[in-house]
Amino acid sequence: MTVRLPADLAGQLEKLTQATGRTKSAIAVAALRDYVEAESWQIQDIEQGVAEADRGEFASDSEVNAFFAKYGA
């Protein structure tokens, strides 16, 4: 995979490699792993919510009103 970085980010990456002794690839893999994990969690949560909605699992009006009353909204 080839990635073109903006000059400022490339400079920051270079400084980080020098400071940590890690390669650019190692830093990129760690960053991508964190990003993919975060995005996967969000996608999974959204898919779960859509599946619940498809099954008709919604909060009642009284449950929604009680929630907002509790938190002052």
Q: Assess if residue 62 is contained within a domain.
A: yes
Domain membership of residue 62 as a residue range: 7-70
Closest CA relative to residue 12, chosen from 27, 34, 1, 2 = 27
H or E stretch at 37: helix 24-54
* Low-confidence residues of the chain: pLDDT under 50: none
Q: Model pTM?
A: 0.59
Q: Assess if residue 1 is contained within a domain.
A: no
Q: Assess if residue 2 is contained within a domain.
A: no
Q: Tell me what pLDDT residue 5 has.
A: 96
Closest CA relative to residue 15, chosen from 3, 27, 4, 1 = 27
Q: Tell me what pLDDT residue 7 has.
A: 97
Give the total number of structural domains in the chain: 1
Q: Assess if residue 47 is contained within a domain.
A: yes
> Are the C-beta atoms of 56 and 62 separated by less than 8 Å?
no
Q: Assess if residue 24 is contained within a domain.
A: yes
**Max intra-chain CA distance, the chain:** 58
Look up residue 38 and give its DSSP letter.
H
